[in-house]
């Protein structure tokens, strides 16, 4: 399949963006970029270290990273869970791309998630529910395609590939 657009994955922390993104990129023979990993490589600091200087500090770096990454296409881009908090991020990402919301049941996310490595959830895993209620409408608003990740990873990837082939509507 020939694609000249970026595929951008959005969704809650732990919904499967990185895992699915890597496999999808392999399948489509496209480069894969994970925004959190790009930021860590570029700054030489962990997301947790950057967050310790305040969320706003991290969000500025995130927006710059998104500008840099989306100027190169086509590729598969896995975003950080909070990317939808700034409209400017989504304006940049929506250019020449298919935005896919990976919708994984919150109960499955809670089972898997390593809260200690996540600045917004550390010491308060319950916060994931409030993040979910805040962000769910934003993920829906900004996506071109919503894909449920409620069975296996391979099934989810096949659904994405089918939807892209069919023109995703």
Ligand X SMILES: Nc1ncnc2c1ncn2[C@@H]1O[C@H](COP(=O)(O)OP(=O)(O)OP(=O)(O)O)[C@@H](O)[C@H]1O
Ligand Y SMILES: O=C(O)C1=C[C@@H](O)[C@@H](O)[C@H](O)C1
The piece of 44-52, 133-141, 150-158, 160-168 that touches ligand X (CB under 6 A) is 150-158
- 112 is an interface residue for ligand X by CB under 6 A: yes
Does the footprint of Mg ion cover residue 46 (CB under 5 A)? no
Residue numbers belonging to the annotated binding site for substrate: 36, 59, 81, 135
Compare residues 44 and 167 and give the one whose CB is closer to ligand Y: 44
Alpha helices of the chain — where are they, by DSSP H?
17-28, 35-43, 47-51, 55-70, 87-94, 106-112, 127-142, 153-165
Q: In what order do the strands lie in the sheet with 97-103?
A: 32-34, 76-78, 6-10, 97-103, 145-148
- Quick one: 109 or 164, whose CB is closer to ligand X? 109
What is the maximum span of the chain, computed from C-alpha positions, in angstroms? 45
CA distances from 26 to 15, 32, 33, 84, 85 (A): 19, 8, 12, 26, 29
- What does the per-residue mask of binding to Mg ion show for 10-39, with x meaning CB under 5 A? -------xx---------------------
Which of Mg ion, ligand X, ligand Y, none does 47 bind, CB closer than 5 to 8 A by kind?
Answer: ligand Y
Nearest distance in Å: CB 50, ligand Y: 9
């Amino acid at each position: 399949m020939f694609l000249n657009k970026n595929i951008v994955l959005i969704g809650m922390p732990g919904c499967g963006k990185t895992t699915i993104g890597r496999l999808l990129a392999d399948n489509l023979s496209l480069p894969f970029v994970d925004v959190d990993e790009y930021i860590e490589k570029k700054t030489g600091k962990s997301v947790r270290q950057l967050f310790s200087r305040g969320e706003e500090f991290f969000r500025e770096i995130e927006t710059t990273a998104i500008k840099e990454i989306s100027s190169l296409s086509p590729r598969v881009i896995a975003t950080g869970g909070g990317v939808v908090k700034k409209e400017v991020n989504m304006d940049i990402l929506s250019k020449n791309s298919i935005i896919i919301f990976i919708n994984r049941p919150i109960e499955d996310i809670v089972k898997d998630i390593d809260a200690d490595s996540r600045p917004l959830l550390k010491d308060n895993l319950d916060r994931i529910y409030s993040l979910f209620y805040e962000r769910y409408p934003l993920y829906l608003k900004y996506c071109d395609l919503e894909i449920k990740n409620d069975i296996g990873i391979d099934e989810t990837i096949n659904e994405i590939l089918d939807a892209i082939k069919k023109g995703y509507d």
